[in-house]
Amino acid sequence: MNAVFVIDKPAGLTSHDVVNRARHILQQSSVGHLGTLDPMATGVLPLVAGNLTRLAQFYNSSRKSYEGTIRFGFATDTYDAEGDPAGPLQNVAFSVAQLEPIAHRFRGLIEQTPPAFSAKKVQGVPAYKLARKKREVKLEPVQVEIQEFEITSCEGDRAQFHARVASGTYMRSVAHDMGVQLGCGAHLESLRRTRVAEFGIADAYTLERFEAASGSGHLDEVRVHPRKLLPEMPSVTATDEIAAYVRSGRAVNLPDFSRAKQVKVFYGQSELIAVATRVAGTLFHPKIVFAAEKAVSAAR
């Protein structure tokens, strides 16, 4: 099966756990995801299956949206609620008005140091493996972009927020760094991802619903329609002749798309057969072909 599904990831599972579950449900090994979520986090986790795993390269820099809760009063070694306290508990309480000036500092392009408990590599070793062994982890700050970061409400030592960020941004680090600046410590208590690129929470299904749809033969009801993928890229519906050329990796002329850099090529309404890149003028060459081997052989 070549398809994209959006799972509403539950807390307690890693992204890889969800992928393994999907592989079992679909009974195929070719399944991946478009952006890791921490085990404690919930929400949007897009899965790509079959030949559409090759779409992942188009989502490496996808924008993401989150909502969650920051707890002030103590930091943790993992920067989230699953870690051990990294300092004494302080009794604090804040208002939105008090936190807004601090939140403002985290908007735009900022320098951010990733958490020690992260998948960032240190001399080829994931940082979290070193951190678990209580070894010193030294990660260099990186530039990240936070387009939106709003404190939406406060109650005692907890603040709810909404954020929209570029790929590579750690909301755990934002929570931790706010605690440092306030001098009271803080950590990310909960996190829910509400969007990745064009995939929103309204598109997401629970693993139970996904499994039920597979078992009843209704996976079409829970997959993302291929026409909704990569909405910023124009699409063309190929004739039989053009489809045959594209499936075999041959260049084709697409007169109506002379100004486009890349186009999605469909056969019929729902079969995405390729992404083609403009070579010159109206000539496009298939950059990625999603056709099955049988279809490619037939075209040849």
Residue-wise pLDDT for 70-100, tens only, equals 999 999 999 999 999 998 899 999 999 999 9
Q: Which residues of the chain have pLDDT under 70?
A: 123, 133, 292-300
Judged on CB neighbours under 10 Å (0-12, 13-18, 19+), 66 is: buried
Query: Is CATH 3.30.2350.10 the right assignment for the domain spanning 64-196?
Result: yes
173 burial (CB, 10 Å; 0-12 / 13-18 / 19+) is buried
Q: For tokens 């910023």, what's the residue?
A: 232
In the chain, which residues fall in CATH 3.30.2350.10?
Answer: 3-62+198-224, 64-196
Q: Name the residue type at position 116.
A: A
Domain 228-299 fold is 2.30.130
pTM beyond 0.95 = no
pLDDT number for residue 271: 94
* Superfamily name with CATH number, domain 3-62+198-224: Pseudouridine synthase (3.30.2350.10)
Q: What is the pLDDT of residue 298?
A: 39
Residues of the chain with CATH 2.30.130.10: 228-299
Do residues 126 and 186 touch, judged by C-beta distance below 8 A? no
**Residue 300 pLDDT:** 39
**29-72, pLDDT tens digit by residue?**
999 999 999 899 999 999 999 999 999 999 999 999 999 999 99
CA torsion through residues 212, 214, 216, 218, sign:
positive
Q: Mind telling me the catalytic residues?
A: 38
The span from the CA of 14 to the CA of 97, in Å, is: 35
Largest CA distance in the chain: 72
The residue among 273, 204, 202 whose CA lies nearest residue 46 is: 204
pLDDT of amino acid 119? 72
> Which residue, 72, 78, 43, is CA-closest to 170?
78
